[in-house]
């Protein structure tokens, strides 16, 4: 698997560290929120799709940027890589 | 007389081997059953077997998308052990070990269970302490465990590099002498035959395409071979749990699917008569009865439903093999393959009633499902038959994540790709 880093170009999988489901990470409850159901759902539950999956990878062996990668979990085909923007 | 015996071999040989019964029938699905089990793998078949043999429920169908044994039961590295640390896990896996010890006899089918032991190597003083703790925990819970030191290791595993020259020198190992290996597809076939002989319909090439619901109640399944009703529907689909449960309207589960690779070399003469695991990384290796070395390491580490992996893990696993066994560098690799592991959020499985009425779930085996095959089926059958868990699987609930009662052997937290 090769991931095309927007900064470094096409690089081997071994340079990247996987950080999990991007949509789930983006749906983190407000840190001040105290609803256990919302936090439990965020920490433990995943949609785990067979097909397109948005995920966070860090180019740990390169520019160290965090990337949002859209990848097909059935074919391993990557359809989009963007830099992860800080949450507004 | 048992169906398979020395006498039956002679008798069938004399009649030209034309009168053996097929190991299981190929029945057409009936319109309704007491229990439908989705998934004809090891766990589904053992569930069917124990429902019929232990709990008296024989009006059962196992529906399988492909053929019996086509999934992870035929893809694993065949290791059986019960060397767990936590009280939530040990009684369950030790129950499984006891079922393994009598399995060939019980099924009248040779599953080639070989108690050749497993040695978990440690390489640092801290790791030695950790292994001592686990060994003590095992002994306290009635499981066999002992330390093996380098002089004995050298004798027991002559090919192992214990010279101290390696990057992480071997300081010793924690052995479970009763652990071992079994012929994995024979386990599926033996359970299939045993279930079939007790009246269970094993329906292959029958893909579940949906669930029949009356309100919340699950009352059957839609399949590629028509609708089948059942009072209870039990799901044991290994790496397809999220996909199957989505059809029942369960969109989110504490599971991620990952790919795990395994490898086998050409056959060589016997040189490794136990199972060895590497503590400097993650590797488990044994030699099959055919002479091939069978081994694997970590999962690839990203969500995947592809039954194939990538090269970084291949390189990683090979380097670990050579770290322990330098002589194996001469061997040629014959095959590698991948299987889909449903990694749960704490590394422990789910065997529970629910999450909908009429539905039962057996899932989240990470990459430790093979050794659990007998106890998983036994406990799942108990849960289905009695509508409550046995004490062995009582901790394996689906709601334990939300209740804060996770069973996390590695203390890894909700990062399933690191379990």
User: Which residues in chain A are closer than 8 Å to B305, comparing Cβ atoms?
Assistant: 50, 73-74
- Taking alpha carbons only, the member of A6, A51, A3, A55 closest to residue A26 is A55
The pLDDT value given to residue B115: 98
- The residues, any chain, with a CB within 8 Å of residue B297's CB and separated by 6 or more, are B261, B281, B282, B283, B284, B313, B316, B317, B320
Q: What is the pTM of this model?
A: 0.95
- CATH number for A77: 3.30.2270.10
Do residues B180 and B39 make contact, with C-beta atoms less than 8 angstroms apart?
no
The pLDDT value given to residue B419: 81
Please give the backbone phi and psi of residue B297, each rounded to the nearest 5 degrees, phi first.
Answer: -140, -130
> How, if at all, do strands B60-63 and B32-38 pair?
parallel
Number of structural domains in chain A: 1
For chain B, domains (ranges, CATH) are 22-81+184-255+346-418 (3.50.50.60)
d(CA B313, CA B311): 5
Q: Does residue A88 belong to any structural domain of this protein? A: no
Q: Average the pLDDT over A51-80 and give the result.
A: 96
- Check CB contact under 8 Å for A76 and B304: yes
The pLDDT value given to residue A87: 66
Do residues B201 and B27 make contact, with C-beta atoms less than 8 angstroms apart?
yes
- Determine how many CB atoms are found less than 10 A away from the CB of residue B237: 26
Degrees to nearest 5, angle at CA B245 with B259 and B300: 10
In a mutational test of the B interface, the residue from A44, A74, A77 whose CB has the highest number of chain B CBs within 10 Å is A44
Provide the mean pLDDT of chain A. Answer: 94
The pLDDT value given to residue B202: 98
- Taking alpha carbons only, the member of B316, B263, B323, B269 closest to residue B294 is B263
- Check CB contact under 8 Å for B302 and A75: no
d(CA B100, CA B212): 36
pLDDT at A88 over 70: no
User: Which residues in chain B are closer than 8 Å to A43, comparing Cβ atoms?
Assistant: 345, 401, 414
The pLDDT value given to residue B164: 87
- Determine how many CB atoms are found less than 10 A away from the CB of residue A75: 11
- Check CB contact under 8 Å for A76 and B254: no
Q: Which domain holds residue A42?
A: 2-83
Do residues B34 and B11 make contact, with C-beta atoms less than 8 angstroms apart?
no
- The residues, any chain, with a CB within 8 Å of residue B385's CB and separated by 6 or more, are B51, B55, B56, B57
d(CA B312, CA A1): 9
pLDDT beneath 70, residues of chain B: 1
If you ran DSSP here, which 8-state letter would residue B417 be given?
G
């Amino acid at each position: 698997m090769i991931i095309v880093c927007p900064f470094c170009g096409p690089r081997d999988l071994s340079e990247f560290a996987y950080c999990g489901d991007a949509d789930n990470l983006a749906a983190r409850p407000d840190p001040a929120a105290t609803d256990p159901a919302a936090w439990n759902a965020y920490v433990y539950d995943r949609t785990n799709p067979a097909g397109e999956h948005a995920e966070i990878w860090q180019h740990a062996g390169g520019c160290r940027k965090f990337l949002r990668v859209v990848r097909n979990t059935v074919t391993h085909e990557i359809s989009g890589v963007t830099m992860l923007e800080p949450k507004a | 007389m048992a169906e398979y015996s020395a006498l039956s071999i002679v008798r069938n040989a004399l009649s030209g081997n034309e009168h053996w019964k097929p190991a299981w029938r190929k029945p057409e699905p009936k319109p309704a059953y007491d229990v439908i089990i989705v998934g004809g793998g090891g766990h589904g078949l053992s569930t069917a077997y124990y429902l019929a043999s232990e709990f008296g429920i024989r009006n059962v169908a196992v529906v399988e998308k492909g053929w019996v044994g086509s999934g992870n039961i035929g893809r694993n590295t065949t290791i059986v052990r019960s060397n767990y640390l936590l009280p939530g896990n040990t009684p369950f896996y030790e129950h499984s070990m006891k079922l393994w010890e009598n399995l060939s006899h019980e099924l009248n089918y040779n599953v080639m269970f070989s108690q050749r032991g497993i040695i978990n190597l440690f390489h640092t003083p801290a790791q030695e302490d950790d292994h001592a703790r686990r060994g003590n925990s095992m002994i306290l819970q009635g499981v066999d465990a002992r330390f093996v030191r380098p002089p004995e290791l050298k004798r027991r595993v002559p090919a192992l590099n214990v010279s101290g020259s390696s990057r992480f020198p071997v300081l010793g190992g924690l052995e479970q002498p009763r652990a071992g290996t079994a012929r994995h597809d024979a386990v599926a076939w033996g359970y299939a035959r045993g279930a079939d002989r007790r009246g269970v319909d094993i329906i292959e090439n029958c893909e579940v395409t949906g669930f029949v619901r009356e309100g919340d109640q699950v009352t059957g399944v839609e399949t590629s071979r028509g609708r089948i009703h059942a009072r209870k529907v039990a799901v044991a689909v290994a790496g397809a749990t999220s996909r199957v449960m989505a059809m029942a309207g369960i969109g989110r589960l504490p599971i991620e699917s990952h790919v795990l690779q395994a490898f086998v070399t050409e056959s060589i003469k016997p040189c490794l008569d136990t199972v060895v695991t590497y503590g400097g990384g993650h590797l488990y290796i044994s030699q099959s009865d055919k002479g091939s070395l069978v081994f694997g390491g970590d999962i690839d580490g990203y969500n995947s439903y592809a039954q194939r992996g990538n090269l970084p893990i291949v390189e990683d696993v090979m380097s670990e093999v050579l770290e322990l066994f330098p002589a194996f560098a001469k061997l040629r690799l014959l095959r590698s393959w991948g299987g889909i592991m449903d990694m749960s959020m704490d590394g422990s499985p789910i065997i529970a009633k629910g999450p909908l009425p009429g539905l039962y779930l057996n899932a989240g085996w990470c990459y430790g499902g093979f050794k659990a095959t007998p106890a998983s089926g036994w406990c799942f059958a108990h849960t289905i038959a009695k509508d409550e868990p046995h004490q062995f699987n009582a901790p394996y609930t689906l709601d334990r994540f939300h209740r804060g009662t996770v069973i996390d052997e590695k203390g890894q937290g909700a990062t399933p790709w690191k379990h």
